[in-house]
Amino acid sequence: MAASDELRSLTRAFTGLGVDEKALISTLGKWHPEQRQSFRKGSRDFFREDERQFERWDDRHILQLRHEFLRLKDAIVLCTMHPWERDSRLLKEALYKGPQYHVLVEIACTRSSDDLLGARKAYHSLFNHSVEEDVAFHLHTPHKKLLVALLSSYRYEGPKVNDEIAKIEAKAISEAIKAGGSSSPLENDDVIRILSTRNKVHLKAVYKHYKEITGNYLDQDCDDSHLILKETVQCLCAPETYFAKILEASLRYNVDELTKEAVSRVIVSRADEDMKQIREEFNRQFGVDLGKKIEDVANGNYRDFLLTLVARSD
């Protein structure tokens, strides 16, 4: 391989999601000190000239590489965990990294009633208190009331729907959103009750009637000030839309570390659930196959592990 090709290969191994360990070993293992120096001098994205006249790693990139080397390990740990433990740990991290409201919504609204209950039990065992208690104590925003209700939910999962009640509840939600001003739908008791107690088949009927009443889909009427409401509706009524959006954002170049973490979380947790529907929606929204996007952005064994999980839906 020509020197210029080796430089490109090594740079590619350091960028994207994960690290291409095979490329690192094959290139660095045979380089002489002069070649490594040439790489440092020619890679200003990674190195900078120190005042004492040597090329030093940029501290930000050292931290980034540490994250990328650990990415495969973290994905494998998530994959081998019991789903209840996995979700309870994700909930705990979501509270202390940000907090990440959308992860709380995601777990509360896309898991079955039994799996959400199991995650709450695991949270008790691991952290000696409840996730609802942690949310109520740590969050001081209009989101708190809705999040506590969603995480406390144990929904009926049968097929029965009362269409007349669904129409009434669609109208109640539309009026809460239309009210605007100081009256936030995130604090409206009827909105919280409907979203946190109704089964998902019923909520899809509410979603349909909302469109008939207003001419818009419910998540379309939720602007950035009501982002948690928008994500709650999508997770309950169209989870493939939500997950496709989250994956697309996390598979971009140069996004922050918290955003990147969604790749492992979503693919590991949905591989045995609804990955086929997520792939179809990803293709529909963004015009590219999810597997192809992962191949373009991710590296090495991490990329191969993700592709193996995604391929289960074939």
- Choice among 127-136, 178-187, 231-240 with the minimum mean pLDDT: 178-187
State yes or no: 16 annotated in a binding site. yes
58-96: buried (b, 16+ CB within 10 Å) or exposed (e) per residue? eeebeebeebbeebbeebeebeebebbbbbbbbbebbbe
The CATH superfamily holding the domain 241-311 is Annexin (1.10.220.10)
Mode of pairing for the β-strands spanning 55-57 and 47-49: antiparallel
* Collapsed DSSP state (helix, strand, coil) of residue 55: strand
As a whole number of angstroms, the distance between CA 146 and CA 228 comes to 9
What is the Cα gyration radius of the chain? 23
DSSP string across 70-110:
HHHHHHHHHHHS-HHHHHHHHHHHHHHSS--HHHHHHHHHH
Tokens of 277: 């529907």
- Choice among 57-66, 82-91, 157-166, 203-212 with the minimum mean pLDDT: 57-66
State yes or no: 118 annotated in a binding site. no
Q: Which residue's entry shows tokens 């909302």?
A: 210
Higher pLDDT, 16 or 75: 75
The CATH superfamily holding the domain 85-238 is Annexin (1.10.220.10)
Mean pLDDT for the chain overall: 90
Q: Which stretch, 134-138, 174-178, 279-283, has highest mean pLDDT?
A: 279-283
**pLDDT digits over 34-47, tens only?**
877 887 887 777 78
Statement: the pTM of the whole predicted model exceeds 0.85:
yes
As a whole number of angstroms, the distance between CA 287 and CA 244 comes to 12
Q: 241-311: same fold as 85-238? A: yes
**pLDDT digits over 124-133, tens only?**
999 999 999 9
Q: Which H helix or E strand runs over 199?
A: none
State yes or no: 18 annotated in a binding site. yes
Higher pLDDT, 6 or 287: 287
As a whole number of angstroms, the distance between CA 37 and CA 263 comes to 34
Q: What is the residue extent of each domain of the chain? A: 3-57, 85-238, 241-311
